[in-house]
Chain A
Amino acid sequence: MAHEFPRPGGGRSSRIVWLRYDSRARAIVYQVLLAAALGLAFWFVIANTAENLAARGIASGFQFLFREAGFEISETTFLSYNAGSSYLRAIAVGVLNTFRVAVIGIVLATSLGTLIGLARLSRNWLLGTLAAAYVELIRNVPLLVQLFFWYVVVTEHFPAPADALNPLPGVFISNRGIVFPIPRSPFELDYPELTAFNFSGGGAVSPEFAALLLGLVIYTASFIAEIVRAGILAVDRGQFEAAQSLGLRPWQAMRFVILPQALRAIVPPLTSQYLNITKNSSLAVAIGYPDLVSICNTIINQTGQAIEGIAIIMFVYLTISLALSAFMNRYNRLAALKGGNP
């Protein structure tokens, strides 16, 4: 609202009076000033960085992506890679490795978490207490510590390849990982064989991947268990009683009546947990799994281009997170529509 005060002496131009006293005009002016201040801050940061980079003689730009990488990567997902490939290919390998851990981790963590959440709600005292103890213990120990624990378990408590466990024909478990036969063609299996140092042939799950997956799944499942439990408890007790009165058994009631309604409360925090699994997979650098952050760190170190490297990491994680969120939000909207009144 315009505050019009009578000015002693009058005679000022009405335009300036309008600017000083009209709160809407003031708001616009302040917005412009704030935008200008932000722009100034950004300009300062960028100019300062560019000046320091130039003073040190550090290169800029993304041309380094096409240079030869020069280092080996221990495991790749679907892509072939060797030390003569480009940095861009190395980053692609890192992205796919991160995907592999994230996707498998999300699937396994959701399954385990749902089971534990349901177990905690069960009327069996032992089951409920065990589930509660699991959640409380795992949630409160830092993830990095758990990853180191699983890595030590996997590498120090399994035998060397020469004495590997052989539970099934062609499957060997050692501190180099689990190797198993894979089909070379529709009728023939490629069996792993022990050579001087390792097993060659067949498929393998490396100890780093196993430790990372175990750690991430067990840790995130404890959070998902609580989310699932909260979602189920949020469903009206009347629903369960109505399902009982229809003659549905408890597990049928859970599956057809309670869980679908609980999903509305479960899905938003579940999205956060999925994003957490994706981002926590970057801890792989501590145990030697070649994920995106680990490979980009090596590239930053070899080329000195820290800003471009970090920008790539941020961009990839941002893309993955936004895509995951968008997908989950669509699912959420579908669930909401079907569920009736929110």
Chain B
Amino acid sequence: MLPIADRYEVKKIVNKRRIWTVGVVALALLGGAHAGAQSTLDAVRGKGYIQCGVNTGLAGFAQPDSNGEWRGIDVDVCRAVAAAVFGDASKVRYTPLTAQQRFTALQSGEVDILSRNTTWTISRDTTLGLNFVGVNYYDGQGFMVPKKRKVKSAKQLSGATVCVQPGTTTELNLADYFRANKMKFKPVVIEKLEEVLNAYFAGRCDVYTTDVSGLIAARSSRAPKAEDHVILPEVISKEPLGPAVRHGDDRWFDIVKWSLFAMIDAEELELSSKNIDGKMNSDNPVIQRFVGAVGESGKMLGLDNRWAYKIIKQVGNYGESFQRNLAPLGLERGINQLWNKGGLMYAPPMR
């Protein structure tokens, strides 16, 4: 047995060494963690799924159906990216976000893609630290009033109470329109879409304003009698809705952007989920490049060369997505038709 003095000293030396080791390891971890963020593609591949930020429940854009499956054109964009990255469109998890939560969720890394009917504006593209990948629905803001008000035009709305969600371009455009036309209004500002619709249909406010697609979706899904509500003819703003990703990650930006473009290009090439298998051995070099039989588009993006084929096979082209989700609500293609059929949907060539 060591004498007491030596035992005490040995214990103190061992303890001191333990404290030092822990301290050095902690510092190293801190330093290592600070060294730099992982790229989104690597993080997503590591996780095995894409975290997609969507609307809490907007018919046609992102809404869970009766089985709890998310459906909508915004959902289809995320599924397309999953099909491109993993080869499996189901490897997506959805985070429902209100208009106020959506940007912080993307900025902080809580979601990888924000596909939530978000309007592309200069302030969002710059000061919020986002990059918009494109437009998947061209829309505009309108007003809906009950028919019994006998209002024929938005210019007759002076003094009305208007239901609107906070943190949206809708709120700002509404204020601008009424200011420009020297009219006054009282806003009722409620965050959750469900509660806003409750307030409008209960009569708390006279007018509901949001994008025209949202008005039509609300009327067909929530109104007790759709004929009792009329959408006024004035469309007071441009609302190009599209998905967004964070600043500072060009590779991920390219992947999401070209997944959307692939869906639009496929409709232009008349490739759909039903006929793409038959077109795999096509003689047309454009189609050959699209399905990945020739060329290296996959390698350019860091993906498998059949990425575009997988998107179309599992999710369909833009027209199929529109038909499946928005046509049942009564929405027509309108300006969302392809460019060569009179609309605005135009994707750059895949070569």
Contact = CB atoms under 8 A, between A and B. Distances in A.
A301 B99 contact: yes
Interface stretch (A44-52, A108-116, A267-275): A44-52
B24 interface: no
A294 interface: yes
A38 interface: no
Interface string B224-253: 000000000000000000000011100000
Nearest to B167: A301
A250 B230 CA distance: 65
Contact of A304 (B33, B127, B175, B198): B127
A198 B176 contact: no
A160 to B, nearest CB: 5
A7 to B, nearest CB: 7
B129 A56 contact: yes
A51 B199 CA distance: 43
B203 A175 contact: yes
Contacts of B203: 155-156, 160, 175
A304 B107 contact: yes
Contacts of B178: 72
A302 B204 contact: no
Interface string B180-213: 0000011111111001001100111010000000
A286 B196 CA distance: 10
Interface residues of B, number: 57
A306 B191 contact: no
A255 interface: no
A298 B167 CA distance: 5
A73 B186 CA distance: 8
Contacts of A304: 103, 107, 123-124, 127-129
A304 B247 CA distance: 13
Contact of A302 (B9, B123, B158): B123
Given A6-B5, A55-B247, A58-B129, A83 B204 contact: no
A77 interface: no
Contacts of B171: 70-72, 298
A287 B185 CA distance: 19
Interface in A260-298: 285-288, 290, 294, 297-298
Contact of A196 (B30, B126, B159, B198): B159
Interface in B321-348: none
Nearest to A288: B190
Interface in A13-69: 20, 37, 40, 44, 47-48, 51-53, 55-59
B195 A286 contact: yes
Nearest to A309: B104
Query: Which of A8, A72, A152, A305 lies at the interface centre, i.e. has the most chain B CB atoms within 10 A of its CB?
Result: A72
Contact of A58 (B4, B27, B128, B190): B128
B14 interface: no
A314 to B, nearest CB: 16
Contact of B100 (A175, A297, A305): A297
A175 B66 CA distance: 33
Given A56-B246, A70-B176, A72-B185, A285 B191 contact: yes
Contacts of B122: none
A197 interface: yes
Contacts of A294: 166, 189, 191
A57 B126 contact: yes
A70 B9 contact: no
A303 B104 CA distance: 11
A176 B161 contact: yes
Contacts of B5: 5-8
B286 interface: no
B37 A302 contact: no
Interface string B32-63: 01100100000000000000000000000000
Query: Which of A7, A208, A288 lies at the interface centre, i.e. has the most chain B CB atoms within 10 A of its CB?
Result: A288
Given A5-B5, A8-B6, A303 B166 contact: no
Contacts of A71: 166, 171-172, 175, 187
A47 B34 contact: yes
Nearest to A41: B30
A288 B159 contact: no
Interface of A: 5-8, 20, 37, 40, 44, 47-48, 51-53, 55-59, 70-74, 82-84, 152, 155-156, 160, 175-176, 195-198, 200, 207-208, 285-288, 290, 294, 297-298, 300-306
Interface of B: 4-6, 8-9, 12, 23, 27, 30, 33-34, 37, 99-100, 103-104, 107, 123-124, 126-129, 149, 156-161, 166-167, 171-172, 174-176, 178-179, 185-192, 195, 198-199, 202-204, 206, 246-248
14 contacts: A56-B107, A57-B129, A58-B128, A71-B171, A72-B187, A152-B198, A156-B202, A175-B204, A197-B149, A197-B159, A290-B189, A294-B191, A298-B100, A305-B127
Closest 10 CB pairs of A and B: A56-B129, A301-B167, A304-B128, A83-B175, A58-B129, A288-B190, A5-B5, A197-B160, A55-B248, A155-B204
Given A5-B8, A298-B171, 11 more contacts: A40-B30, A52-B37, A71-B172, A83-B176, A84-B179, A176-B204, A198-B206, A298-B100, A301-B167, A305-B127, A306-B104
